[in-house]
Structures are given as structure tokens and as C-alpha cells.
Amino acid sequence: MKKPSTYLIWATAGLLCLGTVQAQDVKPTTEKELVAAVEKHREMLANTPLKSFKARNIGPTNMSGRIVDIEVAQNPNTFYIAAASGGVWKTEDNGQSFTPIFDHQGALGIGDMALSPSNNNILWVGTGENNSSRSTYAGSGVYKSTDAGKTWQFMGLPHSQHIGQIQIHPTNPDIVWVGSMGSLYSQNKERGLYMTTDGGKSWKKVLYIDDNTGIIDIKVHPENPDILLAASWERYRQAHDFIGNGEGSAIWRSEDGGKTWKKAVDGFPQNEFVGRIGFDFAQSNPNIVYALHDNQGPSDKEPQQPRRRGQQEENPLKFEDFKDMPVEEALGLEDDRLNSFLRRNQFASKYTPAEIKRQLKTGKITTAQIADYNKESNDANAALTNISIIGAEVFRSEDAGKSWKKVSESDLSRLYNTYGYYFGEVRVNTENEDEIFVLGVPLLVSRDGGKNFSRTDSVGRPHSDHQSMWINPKDGKHILLGNDGGLYRSYGGGAIWDHLNTQMPISQFYSIMTDNASPYNVYGGMQDNGVWFGSSKNDPADRWESLMGGDGMVVAVDTRDNNIVYTGFQFGNYFRIDKATGDRRRITPGHDIGNDPNRWNWRTPARLSHHNQDIIYMGSQYVYQSLDQGSTWTTISPDLTKNEKSGNVPFATLTVVEESPFEFGTLYAGTDDGNVWITHNNGGNWESLNVGLPEDRWVSSIAPSKHQEGVVYITLNGYRYDEFKTYVFKSTNYGKTWTSIKGNLPEESTNIIVEDHINPSILYLGTDHGLYVSMDGGNNWNLFQGEIPNVAIYDMVIQERENDLVIGTHGRSVYIVELEQIHELATPTQKVMD
């Protein structure tokens, strides 16, 4: 039995007991509610007094964001780029310059586009990315332009949420097929394949499997538009779990222009392990079509083990060695051998050989607890790559999709690892039916009809995680490639690549921070693009500098010298970096022996103390405090989560740890499963602040006031239930009671609230659809939109010396708003007197 915690949790009347709270039935946003929210946003945009206020984009563009689709006109100098969460961009000079053309529509997340082959002025855009990732935003339906992107008309399907594919009839632009994936975190009936014959005035659902299965891909036979293929995909994401396969996943075929459909069963898998499917016809031989399949079935191959650096230790200690080891034997272990075991398995740094032996001798820990230290460990990064599944495989049909044969002989399991839901594209060379590209973590090419694959990016190697590709119908060596690092172009069949990112600031920031240099620098962690920093005086095209790779997460900067930076990548892998020397040290705390292993959120919270920047806080399910820049850690809380759900996604984790700027030892913590806590004595005891807040929502930000102790703001969201409501609250008594300050806001998921540093009546709110400003403490809000589009805002910070609001967007890089214009707008009665 686990030893009792050394912490005292002081229960007050009505305090919720840990681990016993039942999840509330959170209802997804309805179609009516979604439409109303979009309309209210439009009204606020039309009436905002802040529309002409200035905002400056500082990039970066040298490290870009996810590009999910490319559509090219008959004149290949003109093409369109869809950013996953950054809108639609157009070039008319072959990529030398790009202009955003879809800003301020209902949603800026894009699933797919389609350009009419018979009339290049007609462009369709389906909103809501289809990749089903953690940062996939729901859309608001489909839109159409008849003037090459100058103006837009909403064409319906508002509750489709995530558009898998759009195809336009090659000769009749009034006929359009749309594949809807439906909602991501809930079940709905608005998924399936829709068809219009009147240019979008009316729609008919022509293929529907069930309320958990949508349409991810559609392809039209190059010579016979009556023949179409569609891929259905059964998938269901939750905050704590993701299922990306099922019996609903299949290939469907139509021979009457999409009016009726039959499942293609000859030669293609029909089981619960069928995952995402993508396919492509060979234009040079249209009866040949390839399918790329994410097979989630178990593999008999051993999972790949992590590589060990340096010389292998002879007879190293293993966890099982301690299972029945007598204490006397453990006390006699050589210190060097024991230390090697402790460091290799990432025990907390305080556990030196001497400390382990001291605690064993005093009975504080047991050898059995050492053996169980990493039992059920939440090594989420390893889980992404080290689980044995069949993975990607390629099928070929030579009768336009009636029958299929698996042709891939290369081991493609590492193309996707375990996250095939994030990929799924295959492209056939337009001049050679035996040359095909498969898009995954690497970009692979086969020149023997899909049997064998190799890399094709040796010169100018593009970023990994490939999402979209266009091959010139008249020149098979001319290729455009979109991935998580932006846009690339090749004129040599993929042997050499040019990076075309100087005009598109579409980076997806998870966090933002500044230092106190002159001029100050801006730091941020980005989706799949690591951690970077750049000058606040940058133009978008100016280069930023890289600090580290991975999915970049939270950044904390020691502003005493502006050189020490704390940051890292997903799931709590954090480091202390000295920019001046290049030194880097891993600082991730290990859990206490006897406690459950750490569960780290994808975006692990980390915060430097306002009172002493040698002190840093991090949060797993526990709050950790270091007094020596992350060298050693003390656990200052019990498990603060409800710890009720488990799956293949880390859950029941801390999302926020914040410190009072007035009182050292007063800390707030929030979790992804809806708990909010406060301690007034540096973790000696924690009090629940849940009463008065909506239950079970993700705590997205907590902001203790800069002006008055006890005042605190909080935002929560139900995004991971497909509930897109606005939750923003204020407390004047340390969170004992809460008051909603939603005011006149539309229903949008809320991510971050920041209080103005000069005027406490001014508040800044970032949602999934932009920036809002209140001049009266949250009673009324105005939309700050114009130069800042309706892009998701994850994080904001005020650089107080320069009076700047620095905004990290998830899709349009970084904006700086000079706050003088906001302060001048405040009425005389609102202004704070010196």
C-alpha cells in the first residue's frame, strides 16, 4: 500500500475530495449556437472602435507553420496556400510575395480548398482543419469566391466543423462534392459526403456512415467525372484519449457522379484497425490509383528502443533488481553503480546514492518503491514512437478503385509512427504512374509503383511532417510541398528544394515571453518548430534565432541578465539554457519515490518567481518548486487533479501555475480536468477554488492582479468537448467567490486573460477567434480586429518598460500592440492617477 502523503490538505466545508468528482455531462455547441456566435463576432467587428488601431507583426517567417493545402491555377505563377490555423494566402508571382485573402471570415482554421478547373475565378474554402491534432480548430462551414478570392460568400454546412476534402466537377463548376469530418471531440450527424448541383445553394448528403465517421478524402477520375472515390475515417479524440481507426474507415466508390456509393472491399482491409486513408489517381494512366493507409493493427516487430549514448555499463542495475532486494543489500551497493541507475532512469536530482541509502535506512522509502518508480510512467514522447503497429502501407488499383492490392514492400512503420491521424496524403507523378510520393514525418518517393521507398530531399532538405503536395500536370518535376515548416518548391522532382517563407508569417505559437534587453527580445514556443527568439524591432521577414527543437512550449526568461532562459518541448522536457555560453542543462523534476510518476501536459506550465528569479515553478499533477534555477526540486503539493481518466493522451495534469506578484508563497494552480487551487503558505496546504466555476473545463489561464492582492482572473474552456463557450471570471477574494465578466462577448473558447499594468480597468482577452479589450473591468468588450485577424491567441504578455502588449497567435506569428493608443482611449474617470 502506498505510504500516506507528507502533505496536509486542509479540507474546508464543501471542499471536493480528490479522485471522487464525477465528470459533468458537458454538451457540445449546437449548430444554432455556432451560427449565432459567428454572427455576433461579425457585428462586433463592424462596430468596434478599435478597428483602425495599429498592430505590428514581427514574424517570424523563417520558421513557419503548418500548410495543409495548395491549389494552383492554370497559370502556375498564381496559386493559393491554406495554413492550418492561419487562413488562405495568394501569390500571383510564383511565390515571391503572398497576400492573405480570407481574414475575418467565420473561422481562420482551414481544412481544404478547391479551385475550379473550368473557371479559375471560382475558389472554395472549407474551414476547420482535418488533421485531428491537439491544435486543430473547428470551422464554421464552407465558403466560395467567384472573383479569385477578392470577396467571399458563405455557402452553408456550418456544423461540419472539419472539412476533409472539396472537389469541383472538371467542366461544371456548379457541381461540388464536400467531405465533412464532423466534430472532433464529440459525435454528430453533420459528417459525411455532401453534394451540390446548384453551386452551393442547396446540399444533399449522399454518403453517411455513422455519427463517428466522416469523409477525409475525395478524388475524381481524371477522364470520367462520373467515377469518384471517397475515404471514410472513423476517429474520436478526447482530452485523455484518441482513437484513429475503426470499422467505419473504408474506401467508397461511385459510378454515377457521386449520387450513390458502394464500399470497395476487394483486396482492401475491412477491420477495426483501418485508419486514415488518402489516395490519388495517376493522370498519365487514370485507371491506376494508389491508396495510402494508416494500419493501426498490432505488429509482431519489437518496438524500437531508445539509443543509449556512450559506453554501455557492464551489468547495470535494473528496476526489477530492487523488487525483492533486502535493505541490507541495497545499502551495500557501490555508489557509482547506484548513481548510474538513478541518473539513467531520471530519478529526482535530490536522490543521490547517499540520500537513497539514508531514506532506506530510516524506513522512509523501500526497495519495492524504488522498483516501482517508473511503473506506469507517462513517457508520452516514447509512446508516440515506440509502440509496435503495422503503420503506413500502400495499395494500388488498376481498375479505378474497384479492387486493390498491397504493393509496399519497404518498412513504412516510421513514416507515421503512431500518429497517422496527422498525415494521409499520397501523390502520383503526373507524367509517370510508377512514381509516387507518400507524405509523413519524412517525405518518401517510390519509382517502382509503390514497392520500395527512399528519401528524396537531400539538398535543401525541407522541414518534417509533410501535409500537402501539388505536382505540375505539365511538368512532373515541378512540385510544391507544404509541411509544418511552411512552403517548399522543387523544379527537380524533389531532389532540391527552395524554402518560400519570406512573405507568410503563419507560425503557430503556444507561448510568448519577453526579456528586458534594449531593444527587448520576444521568445516563443511553436507547434513542431521549437523555441525561437527575435528582436521586438523585427520586420516579419527578419530572421529569428533558434534555441531548441521539438514542439516548443513555455518560455521563462531571467531578466536580470536576459541570458538565462528556461524552456523546452512537449510533455515537460524542459531545460535551462545560457544564451551567452550555449550551455544547456535538463531541469525536468523527477517525482518523489512513493508518488505516482509525473503526468506532464503537452504544454507544461513553468513560471519564474516575481520575487526571486532563482526560483522556478513547474507543474505535472504536482507543483514543483526549485530555489536554485532548476538544479534541485521540492514537491510542494499533492496530486491536484481529479485523476479519473486514462488513455493514450496524458491527462489529469496541471495546465497553469501562477504566483502572486505581492505575496511570496501565494500560488494558484489549474488543471485540465477542471480543478483550481490556491496556497497561501508555499504549498503547506491547498484550498479548492472550484465553487462558482463551471465544472470539468480546461483551466487555460490564471492572472493574479498586478494592482491589488486577492484580485485574480481566470479563463476556462470546453474546447475538448466541442463546447465553444466563453468562460472568463474575476474574484476579489483570492477565488473564494467568482463573478463572470463575460459581458457582451460572443461564445468563443477563451485561452488567456491579461490585466493592464497601468490601468486595472483595462483587460485583454485572447480567444480562438482573436483579441478583445475591455475598458471597464469586463462589463463591456471591444474586438481588436483589423490588423490582427480572427486568429487563435494562445498567450500574451505585457513588456511594461516599453508599454507593449506582445501577442503569440497560433497561426499568424507574433503581433505587438503599442498600448498608448488603448490608454488614450480610456475615459478620464478610468485613468489611474500618479
Q: What share of the chain in percent tops pLDDT 70? A: 93
- Which of 4-13, 58-67, 473-482, 592-601 has the least mean pLDDT? 4-13
Which residues in 692-727 are b (16+ Cβ under 10 Å) and which e?
ebbbbbbbbbbbbbbeeebbbbbbbbbbbbbbbbbb
Topology at the third CATH level for domain 64-302+387-499: Methylamine Dehydrogenase; Chain H (2.130.10)
Give the pLDDT mean for 494-508: 91
Residue 766 above 50 pLDDT?
yes
Model confidence over 140-150: pLDDT tens digits?
999 999 999 99
Place 671 in a pLDDT band, splitting at 50, 70 and 90.
very high
pLDDT at 502: 75
Residue 11 above 60 pLDDT?
no
DSSP of 769-781: TEEEEESSTTSS-
Model confidence over 400-424: pLDDT tens digits?
999 999 999 999 988 998 889 999 9
pLDDT at 3: 32
pLDDT at 194: 98
Place 22 in a pLDDT band, splitting at 50, 70 and 90.
very low
Give the pLDDT mean for 173-195: 97
DSSP of 576-599: EEETTT--EEE-PPPPPTTSPPP-
- Distance separating alpha carbons of residues 57 and 507, to the nearest angstrom: 11
Please give the grid coordinates belonging to residue 4. 500516506
Please give the grid coordinates belonging to residue 207. 454518403
pLDDT at 383: 62
pLDDT at 315: 87
Count other Cβ atoms within 10 Å, centred on residue 459.
10
Please give the grid coordinates belonging to residue 463. 522541414
pLDDT at 250: 98
Distance of CA 579 to the CA centre of its chain: 27
Helix 353-362 × helix 335-344 angle, to 10°: 100
- Distance separating alpha carbons of residues 64 and 813, to the nearest angstrom: 8
Give the pLDDT mean for 639-648: 94
pLDDT at 4: 32
- Distance separating alpha carbons of residues 572 and 378, to the nearest angstrom: 11
Place 568 in a pLDDT band, splitting at 50, 70 and 90.
very high
Residue 231 above 70 pLDDT?
yes
Mean pLDDT score across all residues of the chain? 93
- Distance separating alpha carbons of residues 781 and 41, to the nearest angstrom: 11
Kindly state which CATH superfamily the domain 509-825 is placed in: YVTN repeat-like/Quinoprotein amine dehydrogenase (2.130.10.10)
Residue 550 above 50 pLDDT?
yes
Residues 6+ apart with CB under 8 A from 381: 570, 571, 573
Place 503 in a pLDDT band, splitting at 50, 70 and 90.
confident
- Please tell me the pTM assigned to this model: 0.95
Residue 783 above 90 pLDDT?
yes
pLDDT at 828: 52
Helices (H), 202-334: 327-331
Residue written as grid cell 541495497: 330
Residue spans in the chain of domains classed CATH 2.130.10.10: 64-302+387-499, 509-825
- Largest Cα–Cα distance in the chain? 84
Residue 829 above 50 pLDDT?
no
Model confidence over 282-326: pLDDT tens digits?
999 999 999 999 999 998 876 555 454 445 678 899 999 999 999
Which residues in 143-158 are b (16+ Cβ under 10 Å) and which e?
bbbbebbeebebbbbb
How many Cα atoms sit within 13 Å of 282 on the Cβ side?
23
Burial class (CB within 10 angstroms; exposed 0-12, middle 13-18, buried 19+) of 614:
middle
- Distance separating alpha carbons of residues 751 and 753, to the nearest angstrom: 7
- Distance separating alpha carbons of residues 624 and 612, to the nearest angstrom: 16
Place 819 in a pLDDT band, splitting at 50, 70 and 90.
very high
Residue 834 above 80 pLDDT?
no
